[in-house]
Amino acid sequence: MEQPLYSDLENRLARYGRVGLANLPTPLQPLKRLTEHLGGPQLWVKREDCTGLGFGGNKLRKLDYVLREALDAGADTLVSGGVVQSNSQRQVAAVAAKLGLECHLAVYHGRLKPPTPEYETSGNVLLNKLFGAQLHHVPWTGDRNLAIRTLAEKLSNEGRRPYVVPYGVSNGLGAIGYATTVLEIARQSQACGFAPRAVAHCSGSGGTQAGLVVGAALAMPNTDIVGIDIDAEPDRVRADVLRYGAEAAEMLGTSFSNERVEVVAGHAGPAYGVPHDATIEAIRLAGRLEALVLDPVYSGKGLAGLIAMIRSGRWTRDDHIVFVHTGGEPALFAYGSALLSSADGA
């Protein structure tokens, strides 16, 4: 029998070990009612919110590979960071608890004004504390990794063996971890009898898109990877996708083509972390039609962007499009009072 196209990617990925933290493969499911509501294309969802540990999300897949390196290096402490409601640091806190490592997080304040009274205490903040992470509050300066590195140095001087998990778990190794998603989508879509025209997702620190682009170049060359900027910084997102993608491609012994990187601007709303009408509409549609829980910072904006692209006529009714649900549900509760008034309304 002929080898499937994805075996090359599979063989290259096999050189890297994973810890086994994430529940994989995640399901690929049809979104029949949303498809009908929009009049096509044929929509599917890749449930990266179902990776399991500590409420799951897309960072666990990257952490599965990054943490292999941390354990091999004999680390006893994980150091990472993010904004107050970061899903990334919550997933780092979860894996630290599971592996019995200490966890220190630089919590950035001031990237956005707290949108609700519960923003500082609910959702991911509550979970970080539940998982036993130690929170270090620092001002947001725009440099995503400086305070994390400073914290790691301090812990190292105190005699710990810290391992730095970068902001968003985005680096070359994280992108390699994320390329495994392509392997799963290739297998699952083949089993369901379709070839995706595009895989769409929201893009922030860039590692997710970098992994998808590197993986798709090898295993799904006819599928577009459409990254929807939710940071309101499309040029910065694109630059980071190129950087981590090139690193991952080199580590996998393959080439990286900048032309395959599509970062779509214009759907981030007024600013990072601030939901707007299109986001709220997307969250409501996904809830009412599919019982799919999206969040106002990432996946809700991602679906809002995808819906706008569908309405602009990019695809035909018969195209198959995979939306990657990257997770983030806990943040929904930190935005509850900002969303409730509009969710009540219709």
Ligand X SMILES: *Cc1c(COP(=O)(O)O)cnc(C)c1O
d(CA 60, CA 57): 6
Tokens of 158: 């105190």
CB of 125 closer than 8 Å to CB of 335: no
What is the enclosing helix (H) or strand (E) of 125?
Answer: helix 123-130
Smaller CB separation from ligand X, 155 or 249: 249
Q: Which of 80, 85, 208, 279 touches ligand X by CB under 6 A? A: 208
204 belongs to the binding site for ligand X (CB under 6 A): yes
Stretch of 65-73, 117-125, 150-158, 198-206 lying at the interface with ligand X (CB under 6 A): 198-206
Question: Residue 255: helix, strand or coil by DSSP?
Answer: coil
Alpha carbons within 13 angstroms on the beta-carbon side of residue 226 total 25
CB of 101 closer than 8 Å to CB of 139: no
Q: In what order do the strands lie in the sheet with 162-164?
A: 134-139, 102-109, 77-83, 162-164
Which residues inside 45-104 make contact with ligand X, applying CB under 6 A? Answer: 57-59, 87-88
Q: Which of 202, 242, 246, 286 touches ligand X by CB under 6 A? A: 202
- Total residues binding ligand X (CB under 6 A): 20
Does 255 qualify as catalytic in the annotation?
no
Tokens of 290: 């599919």
The radius of gyration of the chain's CA atoms, rounded to the nearest angstrom, is 19
Smaller CB separation from ligand X, 60 or 252: 60
Smaller CB separation from ligand X, 162 or 174: 174
181 belongs to the binding site for ligand X (CB under 6 A): no
Stretch of 123-131, 141-149, 186-194, 324-332 lying at the interface with ligand X (CB under 6 A): 324-332
CB of 323 closer than 8 Å to CB of 27: no
Supply the minimum distance, in Å, between the C-beta of residue 262 and ligand X.
14
Supply the minimum distance, in Å, between the C-beta of residue 194 and ligand X.
24
Residue 316 CA to its chain's centroid (Å): 27
Supply the minimum distance, in Å, between the C-beta of residue 317 and ligand X.
28
Q: Which of 205, 238, 275, 333 touches ligand X by CB under 6 A? A: 205
Which residues inside 259-318 make contact with ligand X, applying CB under 6 A? Answer: 298-299
Supply the minimum distance, in Å, between the C-beta of residue 168 and ligand X.
4
128 belongs to the binding site for ligand X (CB under 6 A): no
Stretch of 71-79, 115-123, 258-266, 323-331 lying at the interface with ligand X (CB under 6 A): 323-331
Going by C-beta distance under 8 Å and a sequence separation of 6 or more, which residues neighbour residue 247? Answer: 171, 172, 175, 210
| Catalytic choice (86, 122, 170, 205) | 86
CB of 290 closer than 8 Å to CB of 33: yes
Going by C-beta distance under 8 Å and a sequence separation of 6 or more, which residues neighbour residue 154? Answer: none
Supply the minimum distance, in Å, between the C-beta of residue 110 and ligand X.
19
Supply the minimum distance, in Å, between the C-beta of residue 154 and ligand X.
26
Q: Which long-range contacts (CB under 8 A, 24 or more apart) does 341-346 make?
A: 342/277, 342/280, 342/284, 343/280, 343/283, 343/284, 346/284
Smaller CB separation from ligand X, 41 or 327: 327
Looking at the annotation, which residues are catalytic? 86
Binding site for ligand X (CB under 6 A): 57-59, 87-88, 168, 170, 202-209, 298-299, 326-328
